Amino acid sequence: MIGRIRPYLERSFEPLIATLLLGGVGVSAALLVLGLALFLVTGRSGYGEVATVAVLTGPSAASQYPHSIGSILRGVAELRSFAIVELGIVVLVATPVLRVAASVFLFLAEEDRVFVAVTVAVLVLLLSSIFLLH
Amino acid sequence: MADPLQIAGFLAVIFAASFGAGIVGSLAGLGGGVFLVPLLTVGFGLDIHYAIGASIVSVIATSSGAAAAYVRDRITNLRIGMFLELATTTGAITGALVATFVQPRTLFLIFGAVLALSAVPLIRQIGEELPAGVRDDVWASRLRLAGTYPDAVHRRNVPYQVTRVPLGLGMMWIAGLISGLLGIGSGVFKVLAMDVGMRLPMKVSTTTSNFMIGVTAAASAGIYFGRGDVLPVVAAPVALGVLAGAGVGTRLLVRMRNNTLRQLFVPILLLISAEMILRGFGVRL
Protein backbone atom coordinates (compact mmCIF):
# COMPACT_ATOMS: atom_id res chain seq x y z
CA MET A 1 0.00 0.00 0.00
CA ILE A 2 2.69 2.46 1.10
CA GLY A 3 4.74 1.37 -1.90
CA ARG A 4 2.01 2.66 -4.15
CA ILE A 5 1.77 6.02 -2.44
CA ARG A 6 5.51 6.62 -2.37
CA PRO A 7 6.07 7.66 -6.00
CA TYR A 8 3.47 10.40 -5.60
CA LEU A 9 5.08 11.71 -2.42
CA GLU A 10 8.47 11.88 -4.09
CA ARG A 11 7.05 13.86 -6.96
CA SER A 12 7.53 17.00 -4.90
CA PHE A 13 10.68 15.79 -3.18
CA GLU A 14 13.07 15.12 -6.02
CA PRO A 15 12.75 18.38 -8.00
CA LEU A 16 13.50 20.33 -4.81
CA ILE A 17 16.73 18.41 -4.15
CA ALA A 18 17.71 18.67 -7.83
CA THR A 19 17.07 22.43 -7.84
CA LEU A 20 19.10 22.92 -4.66
CA LEU A 21 22.08 21.03 -6.14
CA LEU A 22 21.80 22.89 -9.44
CA GLY A 23 21.59 26.24 -7.62
CA GLY A 24 24.69 25.51 -5.52
CA VAL A 25 26.65 24.37 -8.55
CA GLY A 26 25.47 27.40 -10.59
CA VAL A 27 26.44 30.00 -7.96
CA SER A 28 29.79 28.26 -7.45
CA ALA A 29 30.56 28.10 -11.19
CA ALA A 30 29.61 31.77 -11.64
CA LEU A 31 32.00 32.82 -8.85
CA LEU A 32 34.80 30.62 -10.24
CA VAL A 33 34.41 32.07 -13.76
CA LEU A 34 34.24 35.61 -12.40
CA GLY A 35 37.32 35.16 -10.20
CA LEU A 36 39.35 33.49 -12.97
CA ALA A 37 38.34 36.14 -15.53
CA LEU A 38 39.31 38.94 -13.15
CA PHE A 39 42.61 37.17 -12.50
CA LEU A 40 43.40 36.75 -16.21
CA VAL A 41 42.41 40.30 -17.14
CA THR A 42 44.23 42.08 -14.32
CA GLY A 43 47.05 39.55 -13.95
CA ARG A 44 46.67 39.86 -10.18
CA SER A 45 45.59 37.20 -7.71
CA GLY A 46 45.12 39.86 -5.04
CA TYR A 47 47.64 38.06 -2.82
CA GLY A 48 51.33 38.74 -3.42
CA GLU A 49 53.16 39.05 -6.69
CA VAL A 50 52.05 36.58 -9.36
CA ALA A 51 54.91 35.51 -11.55
CA THR A 52 54.43 32.08 -13.07
CA VAL A 53 52.57 28.82 -12.66
CA ALA A 54 55.56 27.61 -10.63
CA VAL A 55 54.96 30.34 -8.04
CA LEU A 56 51.18 29.78 -7.99
CA THR A 57 51.58 26.06 -7.33
CA GLY A 58 54.90 26.03 -5.45
CA PRO A 59 55.48 24.86 -1.88
CA SER A 60 54.79 28.31 -0.40
CA ALA A 61 51.67 28.92 -2.51
CA ALA A 62 49.29 27.56 0.12
CA SER A 63 50.24 30.09 2.78
CA GLN A 64 49.47 33.08 0.55
CA TYR A 65 45.71 32.71 0.16
CA PRO A 66 42.95 33.12 2.75
CA HIS A 67 41.51 29.90 4.21
CA SER A 68 38.95 31.23 6.65
CA ILE A 69 35.47 32.41 5.72
CA GLY A 70 36.09 35.86 7.24
CA SER A 71 39.28 36.55 5.34
CA ILE A 72 37.76 35.21 2.11
CA LEU A 73 34.76 37.54 2.44
CA ARG A 74 37.05 40.53 3.17
CA GLY A 75 39.06 39.63 0.05
CA VAL A 76 35.87 39.42 -2.03
CA ALA A 77 34.80 42.87 -0.77
CA GLU A 78 38.20 44.17 -1.91
CA LEU A 79 37.65 42.44 -5.30
CA ARG A 80 40.73 40.23 -4.97
CA SER A 81 40.38 37.66 -7.76
CA PHE A 82 41.54 34.59 -5.80
CA ALA A 83 39.22 35.42 -2.90
CA ILE A 84 36.30 35.25 -5.36
CA VAL A 85 37.61 31.87 -6.60
CA GLU A 86 37.90 30.61 -3.01
CA LEU A 87 34.35 31.73 -2.23
CA GLY A 88 33.26 29.68 -5.26
CA ILE A 89 35.02 26.61 -3.79
CA VAL A 90 33.38 27.22 -0.38
CA VAL A 91 29.92 27.34 -2.01
CA LEU A 92 30.74 24.11 -3.88
CA VAL A 93 31.77 22.31 -0.66
CA ALA A 94 28.73 23.66 1.21
CA THR A 95 26.26 22.39 -1.43
CA PRO A 96 26.14 18.69 -0.33
CA VAL A 97 25.92 19.78 3.32
CA LEU A 98 22.95 22.02 2.51
CA ARG A 99 21.40 19.14 0.59
CA VAL A 100 21.50 16.93 3.71
CA ALA A 101 20.06 19.76 5.83
CA ALA A 102 17.25 20.34 3.33
CA SER A 103 16.42 16.61 3.31
CA VAL A 104 15.71 16.75 7.04
CA PHE A 105 12.92 19.25 6.40
CA LEU A 106 11.60 17.34 3.39
CA PHE A 107 11.31 14.11 5.41
CA LEU A 108 9.69 16.14 8.22
CA ALA A 109 7.10 17.36 5.71
CA GLU A 110 6.48 13.75 4.68
CA GLU A 111 6.20 12.76 8.36
CA ASP A 112 8.70 9.98 7.77
CA ARG A 113 10.13 9.71 11.29
CA VAL A 114 12.72 7.06 10.53
CA PHE A 115 14.25 9.10 7.72
CA VAL A 116 14.10 12.33 9.73
CA ALA A 117 16.23 10.52 12.32
CA VAL A 118 18.54 9.13 9.62
CA THR A 119 19.14 12.51 7.95
CA VAL A 120 19.57 14.34 11.27
CA ALA A 121 22.18 11.75 12.29
CA VAL A 122 23.99 12.15 8.95
CA LEU A 123 23.95 15.95 9.33
CA VAL A 124 25.35 15.77 12.87
CA LEU A 125 28.06 13.29 11.82
CA LEU A 126 28.91 15.42 8.78
CA LEU A 127 29.13 18.69 10.70
CA SER A 128 31.17 17.11 13.48
CA SER A 129 33.64 15.70 10.96
CA ILE A 130 33.95 19.12 9.31
CA PHE A 131 34.31 21.18 12.48
CA LEU A 132 35.66 18.88 15.20
CA LEU A 133 38.22 16.67 13.56
CA HIS A 134 40.96 19.16 12.76
CA MET B 1 56.70 39.54 -14.42
CA ALA B 2 53.47 37.71 -14.87
CA ASP B 3 53.20 35.44 -17.87
CA PRO B 4 49.51 35.42 -18.82
CA LEU B 5 49.96 33.03 -21.76
CA GLN B 6 51.67 30.38 -19.66
CA ILE B 7 49.03 30.66 -16.95
CA ALA B 8 46.16 30.56 -19.47
CA GLY B 9 47.71 27.43 -21.02
CA PHE B 10 48.00 25.76 -17.61
CA LEU B 11 44.34 26.54 -16.84
CA ALA B 12 43.24 25.25 -20.27
CA VAL B 13 45.07 21.90 -19.95
CA ILE B 14 43.68 21.28 -16.44
CA PHE B 15 40.19 22.28 -17.60
CA ALA B 16 40.37 19.84 -20.54
CA ALA B 17 41.62 16.93 -18.39
CA SER B 18 38.96 17.65 -15.76
CA PHE B 19 36.31 17.72 -18.48
CA GLY B 20 37.28 14.12 -19.37
CA ALA B 21 37.38 13.11 -15.70
CA GLY B 22 33.92 14.66 -15.24
CA ILE B 23 32.42 12.60 -18.07
CA VAL B 24 33.87 9.30 -16.80
CA GLY B 25 33.19 10.12 -13.14
CA SER B 26 29.54 11.04 -13.71
CA LEU B 27 29.00 7.78 -15.62
CA ALA B 28 30.86 5.46 -13.25
CA GLY B 29 29.72 7.02 -9.97
CA LEU B 30 33.12 8.22 -8.80
CA GLY B 31 35.03 11.47 -8.51
CA GLY B 32 37.69 11.19 -11.18
CA GLY B 33 40.62 11.56 -8.77
CA VAL B 34 42.17 8.42 -10.26
CA PHE B 35 42.81 10.39 -13.47
CA LEU B 36 43.46 13.85 -12.01
CA VAL B 37 45.92 12.98 -9.25
CA PRO B 38 48.53 11.37 -11.58
CA LEU B 39 48.11 14.18 -14.12
CA LEU B 40 48.76 16.86 -11.50
CA THR B 41 51.64 15.11 -9.75
CA VAL B 42 53.44 13.44 -12.66
CA GLY B 43 52.31 15.81 -15.43
CA PHE B 44 52.66 19.13 -13.62
CA GLY B 45 54.98 18.18 -10.76
CA LEU B 46 52.47 19.31 -8.15
CA ASP B 47 52.87 18.29 -4.52
CA ILE B 48 50.68 15.25 -3.67
CA HIS B 49 48.78 17.30 -1.04
CA TYR B 50 47.70 19.85 -3.66
CA ALA B 51 46.74 17.04 -6.03
CA ILE B 52 44.54 15.38 -3.38
CA GLY B 53 43.03 18.79 -2.52
CA ALA B 54 42.12 19.20 -6.19
CA SER B 55 40.76 15.64 -6.26
CA ILE B 56 38.42 16.41 -3.33
CA VAL B 57 37.11 19.44 -5.24
CA SER B 58 36.60 17.26 -8.31
CA VAL B 59 34.63 14.68 -6.29
CA ILE B 60 32.26 17.33 -4.90
CA ALA B 61 31.81 19.00 -8.31
CA THR B 62 31.08 15.66 -10.04
CA SER B 63 28.67 14.69 -7.28
CA SER B 64 26.56 17.85 -7.17
CA GLY B 65 26.76 18.48 -10.93
CA ALA B 66 25.75 14.95 -11.92
CA ALA B 67 23.30 14.35 -9.08
CA ALA B 68 21.32 17.47 -10.00
CA ALA B 69 20.46 15.76 -13.32
CA TYR B 70 20.12 12.18 -12.01
CA VAL B 71 17.86 13.17 -9.11
CA ARG B 72 15.67 15.24 -11.44
CA ASP B 73 15.44 12.27 -13.83
CA ARG B 74 14.60 9.98 -10.86
CA ILE B 75 17.41 7.53 -11.56
CA THR B 76 19.09 8.12 -8.17
CA ASN B 77 17.47 6.29 -5.24
CA LEU B 78 17.38 9.07 -2.64
CA ARG B 79 16.25 6.87 0.24
CA ILE B 80 19.02 4.32 -0.31
CA GLY B 81 21.58 7.10 -0.71
CA MET B 82 20.60 8.94 2.43
CA PHE B 83 20.29 5.78 4.51
CA LEU B 84 23.72 4.53 3.46
CA GLU B 85 25.27 7.94 4.18
CA LEU B 86 24.92 6.92 7.85
CA ALA B 87 27.58 4.29 7.21
CA THR B 88 29.87 6.39 4.99
CA THR B 89 30.03 9.36 7.38
CA THR B 90 30.64 7.03 10.35
CA GLY B 91 33.38 5.31 8.33
CA ALA B 92 34.96 8.63 7.35
CA ILE B 93 35.10 9.74 10.98
CA THR B 94 36.55 6.39 12.06
CA GLY B 95 39.17 6.80 9.33
CA ALA B 96 40.14 10.28 10.47
CA LEU B 97 40.35 9.10 14.11
CA VAL B 98 42.57 6.07 13.47
CA ALA B 99 44.64 7.73 10.72
CA THR B 100 47.54 8.39 13.09
CA PHE B 101 47.75 4.78 14.26
CA VAL B 102 47.80 2.95 10.96
CA GLN B 103 50.23 2.55 8.09
CA PRO B 104 48.65 3.96 4.93
CA ARG B 105 50.95 1.83 2.74
CA THR B 106 49.63 -1.42 4.20
CA LEU B 107 46.07 -0.19 3.76
CA PHE B 108 46.69 0.75 0.14
CA LEU B 109 47.91 -2.81 -0.47
CA ILE B 110 44.98 -4.44 1.32
CA PHE B 111 42.23 -2.33 -0.29
CA GLY B 112 43.96 -2.42 -3.69
CA ALA B 113 43.89 -6.22 -3.51
CA VAL B 114 40.25 -6.23 -2.30
CA LEU B 115 39.31 -4.07 -5.27
CA ALA B 116 41.14 -6.32 -7.73
CA LEU B 117 39.31 -9.36 -6.27
CA SER B 118 35.95 -7.62 -6.45
CA ALA B 119 36.38 -7.42 -10.21
CA VAL B 120 35.51 -11.15 -10.26
CA PRO B 121 31.82 -10.95 -9.21
CA LEU B 122 31.52 -7.82 -11.34
CA ILE B 123 32.83 -9.58 -14.45
CA ARG B 124 30.57 -12.54 -13.69
CA GLN B 125 27.61 -10.15 -13.77
CA ILE B 126 28.53 -8.91 -17.25
CA GLY B 127 25.76 -9.88 -19.64
CA GLU B 128 23.12 -9.35 -16.97
CA GLU B 129 21.25 -6.22 -18.03
CA LEU B 130 18.96 -6.14 -14.99
CA PRO B 131 19.34 -8.11 -11.74
CA ALA B 132 16.91 -11.04 -11.70
CA GLY B 133 15.23 -12.72 -8.74
CA VAL B 134 16.20 -10.07 -6.17
CA ARG B 135 13.75 -9.87 -3.25
CA ASP B 136 13.59 -7.16 -0.58
CA ASP B 137 15.22 -8.22 2.68
CA VAL B 138 13.71 -7.23 6.05
CA TRP B 139 15.61 -3.94 6.17
CA ALA B 140 14.70 -2.97 2.63
CA SER B 141 10.98 -3.50 3.20
CA ARG B 142 11.00 -1.75 6.61
CA LEU B 143 12.84 1.25 5.21
CA ARG B 144 11.01 1.16 1.88
CA LEU B 145 14.22 1.15 -0.13
CA ALA B 146 12.87 -0.51 -3.27
CA GLY B 147 12.21 1.83 -6.17
CA THR B 148 11.52 2.38 -9.84
CA TYR B 149 13.66 4.19 -12.37
CA PRO B 150 12.82 5.28 -15.91
CA ASP B 151 15.05 3.55 -18.46
CA ALA B 152 15.20 5.26 -21.86
CA VAL B 153 16.90 2.22 -23.44
CA HIS B 154 14.16 -0.20 -22.37
CA ARG B 155 11.50 2.49 -22.86
CA ARG B 156 9.79 1.70 -19.57
CA ASN B 157 9.90 2.28 -15.82
CA VAL B 158 12.02 -0.47 -14.28
CA PRO B 159 10.99 -1.56 -10.76
CA TYR B 160 13.65 -3.17 -8.58
CA GLN B 161 14.00 -4.60 -5.09
CA VAL B 162 16.91 -4.44 -2.67
CA THR B 163 18.69 -7.25 -0.85
CA ARG B 164 21.52 -7.71 1.70
CA VAL B 165 21.19 -4.23 3.21
CA PRO B 166 23.52 -5.06 6.17
CA LEU B 167 26.24 -6.12 3.71
CA GLY B 168 25.70 -2.85 1.82
CA LEU B 169 25.99 -0.89 5.07
CA GLY B 170 29.23 -2.67 5.96
CA MET B 171 30.75 -2.02 2.54
CA MET B 172 29.69 1.63 2.75
CA TRP B 173 31.40 1.92 6.12
CA ILE B 174 34.58 0.66 4.45
CA ALA B 175 34.08 3.16 1.60
CA GLY B 176 33.89 5.98 4.16
CA LEU B 177 36.88 4.59 6.06
CA ILE B 178 38.95 4.52 2.88
CA SER B 179 38.05 8.07 2.00
CA GLY B 180 38.90 9.27 5.52
CA LEU B 181 42.19 7.36 5.57
CA LEU B 182 43.45 7.35 2.00
CA GLY B 183 41.61 10.14 0.22
CA ILE B 184 40.89 8.07 -2.90
CA GLY B 185 38.77 5.17 -4.08
CA SER B 186 35.60 5.72 -2.07
CA GLY B 187 33.28 6.04 -5.11
CA VAL B 188 34.31 2.70 -6.55
CA PHE B 189 33.55 0.92 -3.25
CA LYS B 190 30.14 2.57 -3.09
CA VAL B 191 29.23 1.30 -6.55
CA LEU B 192 30.40 -2.19 -5.57
CA ALA B 193 28.34 -2.09 -2.36
CA MET B 194 25.16 -1.34 -4.31
CA ASP B 195 25.80 -3.37 -7.47
CA VAL B 196 27.45 -6.53 -6.11
CA GLY B 197 26.22 -6.24 -2.51
CA MET B 198 22.65 -4.99 -2.68
CA ARG B 199 22.06 -6.03 -6.31
CA LEU B 200 20.63 -2.76 -7.62
CA PRO B 201 20.48 -2.07 -11.36
CA MET B 202 23.86 -0.68 -12.46
CA LYS B 203 22.50 2.77 -13.39
CA VAL B 204 20.87 3.13 -9.98
CA SER B 205 24.16 2.05 -8.33
CA THR B 206 26.41 4.55 -10.15
CA THR B 207 23.98 7.48 -9.91
CA THR B 208 23.26 6.86 -6.22
CA SER B 209 27.02 6.61 -5.62
CA ASN B 210 27.39 9.93 -7.45
CA PHE B 211 24.78 11.43 -5.15
CA MET B 212 26.63 10.17 -2.04
CA ILE B 213 30.30 10.91 -2.82
CA GLY B 214 29.81 14.67 -2.39
CA VAL B 215 28.79 14.20 1.24
CA THR B 216 31.70 11.83 1.95
CA ALA B 217 34.14 14.30 0.36
CA ALA B 218 32.60 17.32 2.10
CA ALA B 219 33.31 15.58 5.43
CA SER B 220 37.05 15.81 4.76
CA ALA B 221 37.09 18.93 2.54
CA GLY B 222 37.19 21.22 5.57
CA ILE B 223 40.47 19.66 6.67
CA TYR B 224 42.11 20.04 3.24
CA PHE B 225 40.77 23.56 2.77
CA GLY B 226 41.94 24.72 6.19
CA ARG B 227 45.42 23.32 5.56
CA GLY B 228 45.64 25.27 2.31
CA ASP B 229 45.76 22.13 0.14
CA VAL B 230 43.10 23.55 -2.18
CA LEU B 231 44.99 25.90 -4.53
CA PRO B 232 42.73 28.43 -6.30
CA VAL B 233 44.64 28.25 -9.59
CA VAL B 234 44.19 24.44 -9.69
CA ALA B 235 40.81 23.99 -8.01
CA ALA B 236 38.96 26.52 -10.22
CA PRO B 237 39.73 24.91 -13.60
CA VAL B 238 39.23 21.44 -12.06
CA ALA B 239 35.77 22.35 -10.72
CA LEU B 240 34.66 24.09 -13.94
CA GLY B 241 36.02 21.31 -16.18
CA VAL B 242 34.43 18.55 -14.09
CA LEU B 243 31.06 20.35 -14.01
CA ALA B 244 31.09 20.71 -17.81
CA GLY B 245 32.11 17.05 -18.17
CA ALA B 246 29.37 15.91 -15.79
CA GLY B 247 26.88 17.80 -17.96
CA VAL B 248 27.90 15.62 -20.91
CA GLY B 249 28.19 12.38 -18.88
CA THR B 250 24.68 12.65 -17.45
CA ARG B 251 23.27 12.90 -20.99
CA LEU B 252 25.25 9.82 -22.06
CA LEU B 253 24.25 7.61 -19.12
CA VAL B 254 20.52 7.88 -19.86
CA ARG B 255 21.06 6.36 -23.32
CA MET B 256 23.41 3.62 -22.12
CA ARG B 257 22.58 0.03 -21.31
CA ASN B 258 23.29 -1.11 -17.74
CA ASN B 259 25.57 -3.72 -19.19
CA THR B 260 27.63 -1.20 -21.19
CA LEU B 261 28.05 0.84 -18.04
CA ARG B 262 29.32 -2.22 -16.17
CA GLN B 263 31.80 -2.98 -18.95
CA LEU B 264 33.07 0.60 -18.66
CA PHE B 265 33.30 0.30 -14.88
CA VAL B 266 35.49 -2.85 -14.74
CA PRO B 267 38.66 -1.32 -16.34
CA ILE B 268 38.29 1.82 -14.19
CA LEU B 269 38.06 -0.37 -11.08
CA LEU B 270 41.20 -2.25 -12.13
CA LEU B 271 43.00 1.06 -12.79
CA ILE B 272 42.13 2.35 -9.30
CA SER B 273 43.18 -0.98 -7.80
CA ALA B 274 46.53 -0.78 -9.64
CA GLU B 275 47.07 2.80 -8.46
CA MET B 276 46.37 1.79 -4.85
CA ILE B 277 48.70 -1.24 -4.99
CA LEU B 278 51.45 0.90 -6.54
CA ARG B 279 51.09 3.40 -3.71
CA GLY B 280 51.25 0.50 -1.28
CA PHE B 281 54.65 -0.33 -2.71
CA GLY B 282 55.69 3.30 -2.26
CA VAL B 283 55.22 4.43 -5.87
CA ARG B 284 53.47 7.76 -5.69
CA LEU B 285 51.61 8.57 -8.86
Q: Which is higher by pLDDT, B181 or B77?
A: B77
Query: B71 and A93: CB-CB below 8 Å?
Result: no
Is the complex ipTM more than 0.95?
no
Per-residue confidence band for B254, with pLDDT thresholds at 50, 70 and 90: very high
Q: State the nearest Cα–Cα gap between B117 and chain A, in angstroms.
A: 30
pLDDT greater than 60 at residue B123: yes
Query: B68 and A22: CB-CB below 8 Å?
Result: yes
Residue of A nearest to B59 (CA): A93
Confidence at residue B106, expressed as pLDDT on a 0 to 100 scale: 86
Residue of A nearest to B96 (CA): A133
Confidence at residue B285, expressed as pLDDT on a 0 to 100 scale: 63
Where does chain B show beta strands of DSSP type E? 147-151, 156-160
Confidence at residue A87, expressed as pLDDT on a 0 to 100 scale: 96
Query: A122 and B215: CB-CB below 8 Å?
Result: yes
Q: Express each pLDDT in B71-90 by its tens digit.
A: 999 999 999 999 999 999 99
pLDDT greater than 90 at residue B228: no
Query: B83 and A115: CB-CB below 8 Å?
Result: yes
For residue B227, which amino acid is it?
R
- Each as own residue / partner, the long-range contacts of residues B139-148 (CB below 8 Å, 24 or more positions apart, any chain) are B139/B165, B139/B166, B140/B165, B143/A114, B143/A115, B143/B79, B143/B83, B144/A2, B144/A3, B144/A6, B144/B79, B145/B77, B145/B79, B145/B80, B145/B83, B146/A3, B147/B77, B147/B79, B147/B80, B147/B204, B148/A7, B148/B74
Residue of A nearest to B62 (CA): A25
- Average pLDDT across each block of 10 residues of chain A; the chain has 134 residues. List them in order: 49 85 97 95 81 77 81 92 94 96 92 95 90 64
- Report the pLDDT averaged over residues B6-31: 93
Percent share of chain B, pLDDT over 90:
63
Nearest to B144 among A3, A103, A118 (CB): A3
